[in-house]
């Protein structure tokens, strides 16, 4: 049976593309009121139109999640317009393809501001409302590479490791307020992520399989119903993450062998 999220107010960041867009569509199909956040206003407006066939209301908020002032104004706007926030999905993110020693400071700042600070700003803005209502759910989209570093993706991996620790801490801190926290660990997913990378464009991306964004979206929609603290999308993502913990040096060697051929 498909989850029913009728009348839930759900914020999705990074809703203009990829996983966030697919999640917004799946949530609208499940009856939710969806708040769409991203920088590209025209894409959000087009998505609002596309979702008009489904029940529920929409609110498009264009802005940069890495800007603290955006979160400070966006969350009260959601409360004013929708009355509550049931779920916050921190999904907006970007990657890079550059070695750490060569990464320009502006890129490092932008990546960290988007992937880590953006998540924190919106979470801090939303939590007081959730505490007041005595319920809520925060879903943080991490990555399986937050569980092990990869050459040429080091700061991205580190940002996702930070997301994992922040998520697990929030889970413990917010439990007394009946606010659930879920970390989602997608593996390689077919989205616009590769086009938006900071740094050098990959000329020889790995041939590893990618799952469609809708599969991640469906897992997120299910997680809202189940409240699971951790969600993997495929069995091989789960295996990748756990094998890394059990055999860190072997997996470093293996990843070095594979990515040595593809990291430049």
Ligand X SMILES: NC(=O)c1ccc[n+]([C@@H]2O[C@H](COP(=O)([O-])OP(=O)(O)OC[C@H]3O[C@@H](n4cnc5c(N)ncnc54)[C@H](OP(=O)(O)O)[C@@H]3O)[C@@H](O)[C@H]2O)c1
Is there binding between residue 50 and ligand X (CB under 6 A)? no
Instruction: Give the binding range for ligand X (CB under 6 A) out of 90-98, 101-109, 129-137, 172-180.
Output: 90-98
Candidates 259, 228, 18; CA nearest to 148 is 259
Tell me the number of residues near ligand X by CB under 6 A. Answer: 29
Give yes or no for residue 88 binding ligand X (CB under 6 A): no
Candidate ranges 62-70, 170-178, 221-229, 242-250; the one touching ligand X (CB under 6 A): 62-70
Minimum distance, C-beta of residue 182 to ligand X, in the bound complex (Å): 14
In DSSP terms, which residues pair with 253 in a beta bridge?
none
Residues 6 or more apart in contact with residue 247 via CB below 8 angstroms? none
Q: Is 216 exposed, middle or buried (0-12, 13-18, 19+ CB in 10 A)?
A: buried
Nearest-angstrom CA–CA distance, 87 and 34: 10
Quick check: 143 binds ligand X (CB under 6 A)? Answer: yes
What is the C-alpha separation between 185 and 172, in angstroms, rounded? 19
* Interface mask toward ligand X for 190-219; x: CB under 6 A: -xxx--x-----------------------
Which stretches of the chain bind ligand X, using CB under 6 A? 13-20, 38-40, 43, 64-66, 91-94, 114, 141, 143, 186, 188-189, 191-193, 196
């Amino acid at each position: 049976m498909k989850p029913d999220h009728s009348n839930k107010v759900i914020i999705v960041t990074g809703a203009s593309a990829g996983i966030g867009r697919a999640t917004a569509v799946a949530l609208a199909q499940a009856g939710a009121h969806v708040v769409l956040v991203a920088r590209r206003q025209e894409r959000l407006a087009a998505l609002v139109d596309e979702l008009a066939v489904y029940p529920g209301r929409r609110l498009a908020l264009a802005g940069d999640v890495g800007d603290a002032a955006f979160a400070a104004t966006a969350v009260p706007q959601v409360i004013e317009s929708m009355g509550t926030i049931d779920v916050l999905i921190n999904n907006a993110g970007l990657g890079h393809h550059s070695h750490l020693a060569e990464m320009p400071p502006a890129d490092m700042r932008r990546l960290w501001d988007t992937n880590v600070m953006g998540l924190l700003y919106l979470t801090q803005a939303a939590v007081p409302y959730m505490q007041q209502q005595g319920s809520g759910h925060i879903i943080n989209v991490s990555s399986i590479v937050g569980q092990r570093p990869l050459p040429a993706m080091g700061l991205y991996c580190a940002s996702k490791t930070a997301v994992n620790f922040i998520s697990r801490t929030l889970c413990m801190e917010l439990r007394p307020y009946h606010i659930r926290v879920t970390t989602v660990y997608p593996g390689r997913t077919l989205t616009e992520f590769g086009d938006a990378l900071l740094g050098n464009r990959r000329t020889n991306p790995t041939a590893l399989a990618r799952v469609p964004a809708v599969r991640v979206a469906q897992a997120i929609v299910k997680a809202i119903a189940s409240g699971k603290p951790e969600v993997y999308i495929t069995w091989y993502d789960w295996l990748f993450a756990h094998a890394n913990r059990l055999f860190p040096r072997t997996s470093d060697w293996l990843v070095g062998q594979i990515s040595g051929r593809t990291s430049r």
